[in-house]
Amino acid sequence: METRVVVLGAGFGGLELATILSEALGDDVDVTLIDKNDAFVFGYAKLDVMFGRTTPDAVRLEYRDIAKPGVRFLQQTITAIDPEARSVTTDGGVHEADFLVVALGADYDLNATPGLAEGGNEFYSVGGAERLGELLPTFSQGRAIVGVCGAPFKCPPAPSEAALLLDDYLSVRGVRDDCEISIVIPFGSPVPPSPDTSSALVAAFAERAIEFVPARRVSSLDSARRVAVLDDGSEMPYDLFLGVPKHRAPDVVVASGMTEDGYVPVNPKTLETRFPGVYAVGDVATIGVPKAGVFAEGAARVVAASLIAGLRGGQQPRAYDGLGSCYIEFGAGRVGRVDVDFLSGPKPTGTFQEPSDALVMEKQHFGSSRRARWFSH
Ligand SMILES: Cc1cc2nc3c(=O)[nH]c(=O)nc-3n(C[C@H](O)[C@H](O)[C@H](O)COP(=O)(O)OP(=O)(O)OC[C@H]3O[C@@H](n4cnc5c(N)ncnc54)[C@H](O)[C@@H]3O)c2cc1C
């Protein structure tokens, strides 16, 4: 009987893992890839949807298009995980695994920020971005806040991108002078590991008269008075709130007993959990890297190489390196890049590449190459 690998979650981590196993082992492995959704959407596409640069339909990559030897995709909701028994219960049945890989990402906890659900908006889910896509055309004057409600949060540069793209959006509509934009983030600088990237973003905020409020988190919204309350008790009035909700591991992962301090602890070199044969990759795991797709992918590559070595007999892979590159939208069609190294030195470091036409092309290739590899189109 083939080795059964059950991959929970078909996001960046799960898709990359299933693809590598199929490429290397084909029908010699039995991979079950489970996700509750019927389609994958790149994180950054949510910004495009919110600002009306594309439609929600255009950015959906449908899981039914996955056609890979050895891989079976199941659209099911995972309701229980037993890491000791390596057994998973879904709304479609029970799946037993020889190896289990948890790649269920991070969920949003809107209720952790009082007033956010009633008085604000979030742009971190497809639904939230879609709603904002309808609301933004009606915003023509007043105060807009891009506000982060808790750390860690996915893709640390994304709130900065949202503020710069909002400036673009309002300028193109000819209403920028009637609007104010502020950004509130819980870090001392926009991208802490890279001072050069942070300086470039802070300079871009200054050029565009975007108020930058560092080292603060939005702790609640008072929708009756239309004020955002920050974690030091100070208040910022708003007419439009674009929020990054507090994140947390999916409930089913917490209920499995695998989490500590909110997420799943793993060996940062191998991505193994404390349960034999059970790995965790991506946003659901605690490993010392930011929550971003490129890091989920890198972790998945190490797990895939380890499983292939175990099945084929070969050398175990080198330890996970914690390297990743993120593209950053600076507005006006400009794209920069930050390359970060989280694990090799005593502290994280990052280098900045100025926005350029080459990086615009590179970002497009980032999406199209993954679409081709994961979905064959
Ligand atoms: C606005 C924004 C911009 C971003 N930009 C970038 C960027 O430019 N570059 C970058 O690298 N990253 C970016 N990210 C971050 C990136 O999207 C995430 O970090 C990445 O998707 C994490 O991958 P993952 O595999 O850990 O989890 P995910 O990709 O979130 O996948 C988890 C999957 O698990 C499924 N799932 C969860 N619970 C269940 C359940 N109970 N049953 C079944 N299925 C379940 C979900 O449906 C989901 O498909 C951005 C994110 C946002 C919000």
Q: With contact defined as beta carbons under 8 Å apart, do 264 and 271 qualify? A: no
Which strand (E) or helix (H) includes residue 323? strand 323-331
Measure the CA–CA gap between 83 and 12, rounded to whole angstroms: 22
Report the C-alpha gap between 204 and 198 in whole angstroms: 10
* Nearest alpha carbon, ligand 1 atom 7: 44
Measured N-to-C along each axis, helices 195-207 and 158-172 cross at an angle, to the nearest 10 degrees, of 20
Determine the distance separating the centroid of ligand 1 and the alpha carbon of 245, expressed in angstroms: 14
Q: Does ligand 1 lie within 6 Å of residue 169's CB atom? A: no
Other CB atoms within 10 A of residue 145 CB:
25
Structural domains of the chain sorted by starting position, each given as residue range(s) with its CATH number in brackets? 3-106+249-312 (3.50.50.60), 113-247 (3.50.50.60)
Say how far apart CA 295 and CA 17 lie, in whole Å. 13
Q: Can you tell me which atom of ligand 1 is nearest the CA of 244? A: 53
Assess whether the C-beta atom of 311 lies below 6 angstroms from ligand 1: no
Q: Which positions of the chain have pLDDT values less than 70?
A: none
- C-alpha of residue 155 to centroid of ligand 1, in Å: 10
Ligand 1 touching residue 44 (CB < 6 A): yes
131 lines ligand 1 (CB under 6 A): no
How far apart are the CA of 8 and the centre of ligand 1, in A? 12
Asked whether the beta carbons of 69 and 44 are under 8 A apart, the reply is no
Ligand 1 centroid distance, CA of 156 (Å):
13
The whole-number pLDDT of residue 377 equals: 87
Of 179, 159, 152, residue with least CA distance to 243: 159
Mutate to test the pocket of ligand 1, among 37, 79, 104 (most ligand atoms within 8 A of CB): 104
Q: What dihedral angle (degrees, nearest 10) is formed by the CA atoms of 34, 37, 39, 42?
A: -90
Residue 61 CA to residue 124 CA, distance in Å, equals 18
pLDDT of residue 1: 79
- CB 287 less than 6 A from any atom of ligand 1: no
Question: 0.85 exceeded by the pTM?
Answer: yes
DSSP assignments along 178-214, one per residue: GEEEEEE-SSSSSSTT-HHHHHHHHHHHHHTTEEEE-
* pLDDT at residue 67 in the model: 95
CA distances from 320 to 6, 58, 343 (A): 21, 34, 9
Strands 3-8 and 61-62: unpaired
Q: Please name which of 253, 284, 261, 262 lies closest in space to residue 271, comparing C-alpha atoms.
A: 284
Q: Return the DSSP state at 263.
A: B
Other Cβ atoms closer than 10 A to 208: 18
Judged by phi (left if over 0) then psi (alpha if -120 to 50, else beta), residue 22 lies in: alpha
Residue of minimum CA distance from atom 37 in ligand 1: 104
Position 376 scores a pLDDT of 87
* pLDDT for res 176: 98
In sequence order, which residues have a C-beta less than 8 Å from that of residue 273 and are 6 or more positions away?
83, 102, 258, 264, 265, 266, 279, 280
> How much is the pLDDT for 139?
98
CB 277 within 8 A of CB 97: yes
Say what the pLDDT of residue 131 is: 97
Q: Where are the alpha helices (DSSP H) in the chain?
A: 12-25, 45-50, 116-119, 126-135, 158-172, 195-207, 251-255, 293-312, 357-375
